[in-house]
Structure 1
Amino acid sequence: MTTKRDKGSAINRVLEIIELVANAQSPLSPADISHALAIPKPSVHRLLAQLKQDDFLQINLRGLWEPGNRLYQLSMGVWHAERFKNARQAIMHRLASEVHETCGISIPQGLEMVYYDRVQANWPLQIYLPEGSHTPVWCTSSGKLYLASLTKAKRQKVLEVLPITAMTRNTITDLDALNQELDRIAKSGIGTDNEEFIDGMVACSVPIKDGQGRLVACLYVHAPSLRVSFDKLLEFVPHLQQAAAELAKLDDSEI
């Protein structure tokens, strides 16, 4: 049962600031935080300085506040909790049995995607990308889906600092062509990788969204192109979308 927070409590103010910044659509200024939480500006600046020192929040180049590495690790710890993992695994095992290929969840972390959870298909020929693998955003299905979810202004800023290099003969390295590809993905809601990251591997992904419709993770399936053609892989998309919708709905009441 949720109770009303004591506005005078320093720890509650800290938690409210963390919650506000974590749920914000974009980085916030100290004035935004002060206004939203009715906390005096001097107190906001003092608490933000402490949260930055402890790495829960960080300040970007525009002087705005966003989640820091420690808050990110905290959120990952919650996702790794056994009761959440069991529910995810049940959904993903069902998905893998439907498509007969390896599927998993990847999450954006900085300028990379991290393979967070996966269920391996039972085939002799496998592509080994274990949990914890870091992959580039410009040539993977999940990475391109993440980039496509950003506003065009933010996307452009990210593209300008990415070390875009050719991973295979199919990697899109031209910025104009990549932007066109990302526009297509933004419209379809389906990320694709036609042997752009690894020669001989095809992949597609769909978003897992939060209650506000924001992409928080990607659900992917990948396979050797010797076994599954790119066009055949896209036939799995309805199964992915159904599983992603179920994953998005997971909460304490359902686990």
Structure 2
Amino acid sequence: MTRKIALGSAPLREPREPTTEDAADTNSGDRRPLADRVLALLDAVAGAGQPMAVKDIAEKLALPKPTAHRLIAMLEERGFLARPIDGRLVTVGPKLRTLALNTLRSSLAQAPSHARLRALSLELGETCNIGVLEGGDVVYLDRVEVENWPLRLEFGVGSRVPLHCTAMGKLFLAFLPELPRRRLLDCLPLPRMAAATLCDPALFRAELDSIAACGHSLDDEEYMPGVFCAAVPIRDGAGRMVAALAVQAPKVRLSRESVADRLPVLHRAASDMARALGIDAAPAEPALTP
């Protein structure tokens, strides 16, 4: 059942080399090193949470528009930036997403964060996962499988699961900014994976609104029969969701009725995990009823 993730992107055409025109804009007197401006540009686009217009990037970074266009074109050629279908806005590209994914995976390989996930699994007595949004799926970055689960699910690190029928996937969709969420939902298929899968678009949108309001997400046999899952966000200091933390168990051991006692533990662990990953964590959320 394990599905491997193939990291990287399709071959790109040979990028042009930076020029002296890129290195310093003589007309504007901007003498900042090229590397500083490139890193600032990537940070601005990645931190925006949604596609940005070139003029907004130029204003935010105090760059002349021609310079902004040149730098963006150079980063597009290398796959670090991309343009949505209409071509007017700029967003993160496949190379930058892969870099972010590999960075998080490297952080999770370090002892503190994985040890915290293992401690959470021991405390709850169930399997626990960390996942991130990548393209149209959730990718598992780390996982601790509980020892006493006779029906073991072989979802290894790097496995992908769908958005519409998993607790982590629905959580990411619920906390996306309004415009990206609407665009994604307009083209997101809702295939039936199990008897309880939400396949009606209106009901699915209502479910996402409910998740955004309560701060956690449930998968009640929507992906796999007999399996229940609950997920909470791992947030940065600005409150933005950067990853999801989930507990997974057989329905006979975890359900809508019993999950309320686990949610405060999950929220505290999410804050601890953010600190272990070097993220400036937001405060843990209070206990919430499902």
TM-score over 0.5 for the pair? yes
Q: Distance in 1 between matches of 2:135 and 2:107?
A: 26
Which residues of structure 1 form unaligned runs of 5+?
1-5
Partner residue, 2:243: 217
Matched, 1:181 2:211: no
Matched, 1:112 2:137: yes
CA contact (8 A) 2:105 2:141 kept: no
Q: Distance in 1 between matches of 2:200 and 2:159?
A: 25
Aligned residues: 249
The equivalences for 1:89-100 within 5 A come to 89-100=114-125
The equivalences for 1:19-98 within 5 A come to 19-62=43-86, 63-81=88-106, 85-98=110-123
Question: Following TM superposition, by how much is the alpha carbon of 1:159 offset from its aligned partner in structure 2, in angstroms?
Answer: 1.4
Question: Following TM superposition, by how much is the alpha carbon of 1:16 offset from its aligned partner in structure 2, in angstroms?
Answer: 1.1
CA contact (8 A) 1:79 1:85 kept: no
Pick from 182, 186, 191 the counterpart of residue 156 of structure 1. 182
Question: Following TM superposition, by how much is the alpha carbon of 1:253 offset from its aligned partner in structure 2, in angstroms?
Answer: 10
The equivalences for 1:159-238 within 5 A come to 159-238=185-264
Which one is further off, 22-31 or 235-244?
22-31
Q: Secondary structure at the match of 1:22?
A: helix
Evaluate the alpha carbon distance shift between residue 206 and residue 180 of structure 1 in structure 2; reply closer, same or farther with a 3 A threshold: same
Q: Distance in 2 between matches of 1:253 and 1:45?
A: 31
Question: Following TM superposition, by how much is the alpha carbon of 1:155 offset from its aligned partner in structure 2, in angstroms?
Answer: 2.2
Which residues of structure 2 form unaligned runs of 5+?
1-29, 281-290
CA contact (8 A) 2:49 2:177 kept: no
Q: Secondary structure at the match of 1:221?
A: strand
Question: Following TM superposition, by how much is the alpha carbon of 1:78 offset from its aligned partner in structure 2, in angstroms?
Answer: 1.9
- Residue 52 of structure 2 aligns with an amino acid whose one-letter code is L
Evaluate the alpha carbon distance shift between residue 129 and residue 234 of structure 1 in structure 2; reply closer, same or farther with a 3 A threshold: farther
CA contact (8 A) 2:220 2:228 kept: yes
Question: Following TM superposition, by how much is the alpha carbon of 1:196 offset from its aligned partner in structure 2, in angstroms?
Answer: 0.1
Identity rate of aligned residues, in percent?
36
CA contact (8 A) 1:127 1:224 kept: no
CA deviation map 1:201-237 (0-9, x unaligned): 1100000011211111100011122343342234211
CA contact (8 A) 1:204 1:234 kept: no
Which one is further off, 141-150 or 83-92?
83-92
Q: What TM-score results when the alignment is normalised by the length of structure 1?
A: 0.91
CA deviation map 1:125-155 (0-9, x unaligned): 3222221111111110011111111234432
Question: Following TM superposition, by how much is the alpha carbon of 1:158 offset from its aligned partner in structure 2, in angstroms?
Answer: 1.2
Q: Distance in 2 between matches of 1:67 and 1:253?
A: 20
Q: Distance in 2 between matches of 1:202 and 1:89?
A: 23
Runs of 4+ in 1 over 4 A off after TM superposition: 251-254
CA contact (8 A) 2:54 2:68 kept: yes
Partner residue, 1:144: 170
Evaluate the alpha carbon distance shift between residue 84 and residue 132 of structure 1 in structure 2; reply closer, same or farther with a 3 A threshold: closer
CA contact (8 A) 1:204 1:233 kept: yes
Q: Which has the larger radius of gyration?
A: 2
Question: Following TM superposition, by how much is the alpha carbon of 1:252 offset from its aligned partner in structure 2, in angstroms?
Answer: 5.3
Q: Secondary structure at the match of 1:197?
A: coil
Evaluate the alpha carbon distance shift between residue 252 and residue 78 of structure 1 in structure 2; reply closer, same or farther with a 3 A threshold: same
CA contact (8 A) 1:208 1:245 kept: yes
- Residue 87 of structure 1 aligns with an amino acid whose one-letter code is P
Q: Secondary structure at the match of 1:231?
A: coil
CA deviation map 1:10-32 (0-9, x unaligned): 12111111111111132211111
